[in-house]
Amino acid sequence: METQNTERKKRIFSGVQPSGTITLGNYLGAIRNWVALQDEYDCAFAMMDMHSITVRQTPAELRKRTLELLALYIACGIDPEKCILFIQSQNSAHAELSWVLNCFTYMGELNRMTQFKDKSAKHADNINAGLFTYPVLMAADILLYQADLVPVGKDQMQHIEICRDIAQRFNAVYGNVFTIPEGLLVKSGAKIMSLQEPTKKMSKSDENPKAFISMMDDFNVIAKKIKSAVTDSEGVIEYRPDDENKAGVNNLLSIMAVMTDSTPEKVAALYEGQGYGTLKGAVAEAVVEGIRPIRAEYDRIIKDKAYLQGIYRQGAETAHRIADRTLKKVYKKVGFVID
């Protein structure tokens, strides 16, 4: 056994794609939870721009959103002094390892990925090979840093599973090259649902902007969206996670629970017997008040281009140094001439 895992803090890797606007779901389900992890773990968080181009992007928009995402990470409380913050495409090791791992991944495995099926249905005119091998690039992201834990939402668990399978397969042939990562499912807020179709995940690529809350929305727009959230005709505030008919109310209770550090059950008890209007008003206020300080920070940081550039350049350098160690090991194992 190698000793590298016992001598260092456990490492965490995660990231968000800079495609589309960042939603409340991204914040509650991902970024917010990372803040709590940064003292205890060695963290690396990236802007996954290479994953974004599996769907057609407007170049200027992608570039802009990548920096916005970085500013938002920092505004949410991710400390660049404690974590490695970098842009995926600025570390060539991701593409390089991804190629090698492609040769250790089966078509059949990739065919089973639900995200691939969903996205090909949605972008039927552009079912490209990148969309198909998306999970392989994601595996490379994680394995390059020998990550122990990968905080993700429920929808990404299948990608963590395939990453583990690929890593184990590689290790079985070449010895202990990769740390086998584990998904770290965040308790509440792991899946914030669409406000319009609450059985679907809240998605920034939803054609209906009323379905998601952007971290960049005006506060009155946020309140309006919450107040027009789809509920049900039963008129009873109760948390019933297994009842599809209650999906809208469950979602509001879950959002309120994460915003107030409570549980959906406790929030339901608090509003028992009241109307949906009252609940929505309270949720709207909690969300707006939660986002307000982040937005103030964000507005300040996004203007400081030199500061942001300093962060991502430093991040890329550190990320590259760590990733290159893994990549060199892999290249050597598979038989590439590396000197």
The active-site residue, picked from 204, 225, 246, 280, is 204
Shortest reach from residue 92's CB to ligand TRP, in Å: 16
**For residue 324, what are the CA distances in angstroms to 80, 88, 95, 146?**
21, 14, 12, 11
Q: 66 near 72, Cβ under 8 Å?
A: no
- Which residues from 42-101 bind ligand TRP, rule CB under 6 A? 48, 51
Shortest reach from residue 300's CB to ligand TRP, in Å: 27
Give whichever of 87 and 150 is closer to ligand TRP, judged by the CB atom.
150
Shortest reach from residue 118's CB to ligand TRP, in Å: 12
Q: Among the residues of the chain, which ranges form H helices?
A: 4-7, 24-26, 32-35, 49-52, 59-75, 93-102, 107-111, 114-122, 129-144, 157-174, 219-227, 247-259, 264-270, 276-302, 305-334
**Site string (4-23) toward ligand TRP, x via CB under 6 A:** ---------xxx-x------
The active-site residue, picked from 119, 225, 246, 280, is 119
Q: Which residue has the tokens 């913050």?
A: 85
Query: Residue 303: left (phi > 0), alpha (psi -120 to 50), or beta?
Result: alpha
Shortest reach from residue 142's CB to ligand TRP, in Å: 5
Q: Which one of 89, 105, 133, 156 is in contact with ligand TRP (CB under 6 A)?
A: 156
CA angle 190, 192, 195 (to 5 degrees): 175
Does 148 contact ligand TRP by CB under 6 A? no
The active-site residue, picked from 201, 225, 246, 280, is 201
Q: Does residue 204 have an active-site annotation?
A: yes
- Other CB atoms within a 10 A radius of the CB of residue 35 amount to 15
Which residues of this chain interact with ligand TRP, rule CB under 6 A? 13-15, 17, 48, 51, 138, 141-142, 150, 152, 156, 159
Question: Which residues participate in catalysis according to the annotation?
Answer: 119, 201, 204
